[in-house]
Amino acid sequence: METRRLETLKQIAAGVAAQFGSNCEVVIHDVSGNRPDHTIVHIENGHVSGRKVGDGASQVVLDQLARQDEQPKDHLCYLTRTPDGKILKSSSLYIRNSRGGVVAIFSINYDVSGLMMIQNTIGELLSTRDKEQTEPERIINVHPALIPSFCGEGFYGLRVHEAALEKGVKVTGATVHFVNEIPDGGRIIAQKAVCVEDGDTPERLQKRVMEQAEWLILPAAAETVSRQIAERKNEK
């Protein structure tokens, strides 16, 4: 990647990070070479994901590069989860050279974990125990296990996968559910199973569950729920 282009992207990255604060990670990937495991050439607020200059791209970016699409579309406003359990709202923009080829990826990752906790708390405060709800269910969460296994108060992040390995289960997975006043107790929207492999560590299992389940069913569930809410509004 050209030095002038990189310096311009660094300037933009610093501005975005300063504008949105320490929860906003901005990453510049140089993908003009053939080393997908060493693409990061600049990063602001790397503590968000724990990455540094010289590290590789995220799995989402690697999957996109593996498709070898000559004209990939920008991937905007998607959710990912870091190995330590943070939930990030991310956008990846493809930077092209004068010939239209992708030479860099400009990624913005905002840690929304705290905001989601606030959202869940507000949802609990506004929830009702009445059997007939006057408002539709709106808040969803993804849990890294097949509810009702390894869920409830105290089960989050690596603790879920540690419990699964301690129990010796052969299958785990992820669950998308509505949020109510009971931790992980809302109505289930979707589930996807993931096999536990020999020699798994909590970190390896967490990564596989994210890649094979969470990152697939959460966006699909969010789209379905949004569509249902829109349809209800149109019926009124």
Q: Give the tens place of pLDDT for each residue, 19-56.
A: 999 999 999 999 887 777 788 999 999 999 999 999 98
**Within this chain, do residues 76 and 119 fall inside the same structural domain, yes or no?**
no
Total number of domains in the chain: 2
In 31-156, where does DSSP find H-type helix?
A: 59-66, 113-126
pLDDT, tens only, 51-98: 999 998 776 666 666 666 667 788 888 777 777 777 788 899 999 888
Question: CB–CB of 175/142 below 8 Å?
Answer: yes
**Within this chain, do residues 61 and 168 fall inside the same structural domain, yes or no?**
no
Using the 3D structure, point to which of 82, 111, 140 is the last residue of a domain: 111
| Domain coverage including residue 81 | 3-111
Using the 3D structure, point to which of 111, 126, 147 is the last residue of a domain: 111
**Within this chain, do residues 15 and 80 fall inside the same structural domain, yes or no?**
yes
Question: CB–CB of 225/138 below 8 Å?
Answer: yes
* Reported pTM: 0.55
**Within this chain, do residues 138 and 30 fall inside the same structural domain, yes or no?**
no
Res. 206 pLDDT band, cuts 50 70 90 = very high
- The CATH number given to whatever domain includes residue 169 is 3.40.50.170
The amino acid at residue 30 is: D
Which pLDDT does position 131 carry in this prediction? 47
**Within this chain, do residues 129 and 162 fall inside the same structural domain, yes or no?**
yes
Using the 3D structure, point to which of 111, 133, 163 is the last residue of a domain: 111
Question: CB–CB of 179/140 below 8 Å?
Answer: yes
Question: CB–CB of 42/27 below 8 Å?
Answer: yes
